[in-house]
Amino acid sequence: MSDSLQPTYDELLARVNELSQSFKEFLTEKKIPLPTFEADSVTRYDGLTAEMFVKRQHLLDSLADLHYLVQGPSESIFNYAHNCMPDVAALDILNQFKFWSAVPLAGTATYADIAKQVNLPEEAVRRVLDHAKTLRIFADAEAGNPDAGVRHSSRSAALAQSPGLQSLVSTIVSDAGPPMTVVPQALAKFSRGKTSLPSGLDQTAFNLFHNGKYANSWDYIENDGEGEEKGWRSRNFTTFMTYLKDIFQLEAIVEGCYDWDAAGDISVVDLGGSAGHDAFVLAKKHPNLTITVQDLPKVQSVFEASVPEELKSRVSFISHDFFKPQPVQADLYLIKMILHDWPDAECISILQALRPSLKPGARIVLIEYVGKHDPVVEEGPQDGAWDSKEGSDVTKTKEPPLPRSIQQMGTSTDLRMLALFSTKERVPSAWKAVISAADERFEIAKFETNPFSFFVIIEVVWRG
Ligand SMILES: C[S@@+](CC[C@H](N)C(=O)[O-])C[C@H]1O[C@@H](n2cnc3c(N)ncnc32)[C@H](O)[C@@H]1O
């Protein structure tokens, strides 16, 4: 099997055949059911090993390549340009107007029924669903009779059954999507002719799109909406974060990032801890921990509604802006998936704002998203397609080992970060520079990452 960077049609056919067979054999052996397009299908593969996950992603890369070659280069671009915005608009409409619950999971609905439920003209409902059905989101109630109404497909049923998946669509498409459409204009306005990108939050696509109305994306999420609706995006975001915890199995990362049992009776601050999903898991497993969750004010009501009765004496919430001096003296500060949202200057301010409450030996445990990895460089003369010359030494930068479909998790987040915060997904080594720049008394005691993980874990000790 060729590992060529530019595989031919025949190589792809063989590769798809081989990988899809091996994927199916794995599923059969592990008794993992195959999804179908029917509404009662399983919605995900539970039980993939890490190795099989990566193999499956290689299969997806080959299928994507075949999809491009079958269309041909020009048509593949034509089709993509033609469809991508309507695809996104249809998904956003179905999600925002709650089409998922307007059709029964085990039945059918007429267009008139749906129009009534979602409070839109029947014509709009039909037109959106006509496009969605081409994406296998919903299906005709009767094959060949588009007037008979619609039923769920497995893809729409997956959304109907998962508030977490709905919140993901809402956050990524509805909150972050519109600013992404003006990234070209933002680049033209703030970066054309310059040698580096701006680092100010006032020079983002987000800022351009909202015309300066909100300081940043968090301000928008916190304050969009009127009356009781205000803060709905923030409440939705807490569901999104809980969903991410579940699908990426982040509980294991939080559990493994520190020896919680050996720490004894300690106080922990979960900075930007959302509505407490990580704190609840930690506190349940470790009765020695007392945890203060800190986040923006609109998150508090979700925390209060979800904190388990038995944890109330050990897990509490205070609203705290992490750019302001830290009010709680704790033994350990957990900072998970916070700093990657911010440019270097803001990351440094967030870390420095902890200092007033840090006692000598206090720990900061950072769990940060890594969208890209440092290139692997082998010293010495090498042959190969990725050779580059540095001075007189020949070095070989290896091809990144990750399938493109995994790299996209990082590259997409990276562009989203550019649009919203004028920041970028850092490679693991860049985190060391940010921490050192915040204060030389932050000593890095542990630094863990690997190319197949989306996360870096950094334990910092305050030597003040
Ligand atoms: C990407 S989420 C991470 C949440 C949680 N730590 C986790 O890993 O699931 C970022 C969190 O930072 C919070 N946040 C944003 N700006 C903040 C600020 N200035 N002060 C405190 N929290 C803030 C958001 O409300 C959100 O809950």
Instruction: In whole angstroms, give the CA distance from residue 136 to residue 403.
Output: 26
Nearest CA to ligand 1 atom 5: 273
User: 289 alpha carbon to ligand 1 midpoint, in Å?
Assistant: 21
Distance CA 103, CA 157 (A): 9
pLDDT greater than 90 at residue 369: no
Q: Does the structure show a pLDDT above 50 at 394?
A: no
pLDDT of residue 3: 53
Residue 398: its pLDDT value, please? 53
Asked whether residue 451 carries a pLDDT value surpassing 70, the answer given is: no
Whether residue 12 contacts residue 20, with contact meaning beta carbons closer than 8 Å, is answered with: no
**Residues 6+ away with beta carbon under 8 Å from 193:** none
Exposure string for 91-125, b = 16+ CB within 10 A, e = fewer: bbbbbebebbebbeeeebbbbebbbebbebeeeeb
Sign of the Cα pseudo-torsion (114, 117, 123, 127, in order): negative
- C-alpha neighbours within 13 Å on the C-beta side of residue 344: 13
pLDDT(358) > 80: yes
The answer to whether 273 and 294 have CB atoms below 8 angstroms apart is: yes
Q: Closest residue (by CA) to atom 27 of ligand 1?
A: 274
Each residue's pLDDT tens digit, 298-355: 999 999 999 999 999 999 999 999 999 999 999 999 999 999 999 999 999 999 999 9
Taken as a whole, the chain contains a residue count of 464
Looking at the DSSP bridge assignments, the partners of residue 205 are none
Dist. CA 386 → ligand 1 center (Å): 39
**Residue 451 Cα, ligand 1 centroid: separation in angstroms?**
25
Q: Looking at residue 384, what is its pLDDT?
A: 32
Across residues 146-169, what is the average pLDDT?
97
Give the whole-angstrom CA distance, residue 216 versus residue 322.
Answer: 14
Alpha carbon of 322 to those of 3, 82, 349, 356: distances in Å? 47, 43, 9, 12
Q: Which of 295, 298, 326, 339 gets mutated to test ligand 1 (max ligand atoms within 8 A of its CB)?
A: 295
Q: Which amino acid is at 281?
A: V
Per-residue confidence (pLDDT) for residue 450, from 0 to 100: 72
Ligand 1: atom nearest CA of 335 is 6
Q: Which two tokens stand for residue 348?
A: 């440094």
Ligand 1 atom 10 nearest Cα: 338
Q: What is the pLDDT of residue 425?
A: 87
Query: Hey, whose CA ends up nearest to atom 19 of ligand 1?
Result: 321
Separation CA 150–CA 132 (nearest Å) = 11
pLDDT, tens digit, for every residue of 413-425? 999 999 999 999 8
Q: Which residue has the higher pLDDT, 375 or 385?
A: 375
User: pLDDT digits over 229-282, tens only?
Assistant: 999 999 999 999 999 999 888 999 999 999 999 999 999 999 999 999 999 999
Average pLDDT, the chain: 92
Which atom of ligand 1 is nearest to 244's Cα? 9
Cross-sheet strand order for the sheet of 145-151: 108-109, 145-151, 139-142
Q: Spell out the domains of the chain, with CATH numbers in brackets.
A: 9-71 (no CATH), 74-161 (1.10.10.10), 166-235 (no CATH), 248-370+426-462 (3.40.50.150)
Calculate how far, in angstroms, residue 403's C-alpha sits from the geometric centre of ligand 1: 30
Nearest CA to ligand 1 atom 24: 272
- SS3 of the chain: the string is CCCCCCCCHHHHHHHHHHHHHHHHHHHHHHCCCCCCCCCCCCCCCCCCCHHHHHHHHHHHHHHHHHHHHHHCHHHHHHHHHHHHHHHHHHHHHHHHCCHHHHCCCCCEECHHHHHHHHCCCHHHHHHHHHHHHHCCCCEEEECCEEEEEEECCHHHHHHHCCHHHHHHHHHHHHHCHHHHCCHHHHHHHHCCCCCCCCCCHHHCHHHHHCCCCCCCHHHHHHHCCCHHHCCHHHHHHHHHHHHHHHHCCHHHHHHHCCCCCCCCCEEEEEECCCCCHHHHHHHHHCCCEEEEEEECHHHHHHHHHHCCHHHCCCEEEEECCCCCCCCCCCCEEEEECCHHHCCHHHHHHHHHCCHHHCCCCCEEEEEEECCCCCCCEECCCCCCCCEEEECCEEEEECCCCCCHHHHHHHHHHHHHHHHHHCCCCCCHHHHHHHHHHHCCCEEEEEEECCCCCCEEEEEEEECC
Ligand 1, atom nearest to 222 Cα = 25
Q: How far is the CA of 273 from the centre of ligand 1 (A)?
A: 6
Return the best residue to mutate from 235, 246, 274 for the ligand 1 pocket (most ligand atoms within 8 A of CB). 274
Q: 292 CA to middle of ligand 1, Å?
A: 14
| Distance from the alpha carbon of residue 208 to the mean position of ligand 1, in angstroms | 23
> Rg for the chain (alpha carbons), in Å?
24
20 pLDDT exceeds 90?
Answer: yes
Residue list, ligand 1 pocket, CB within 6 Å? 218, 241, 272-274, 295-296, 299, 321-323, 336-338
Residue type, 210: H
Mean pLDDT within 53-74: 97
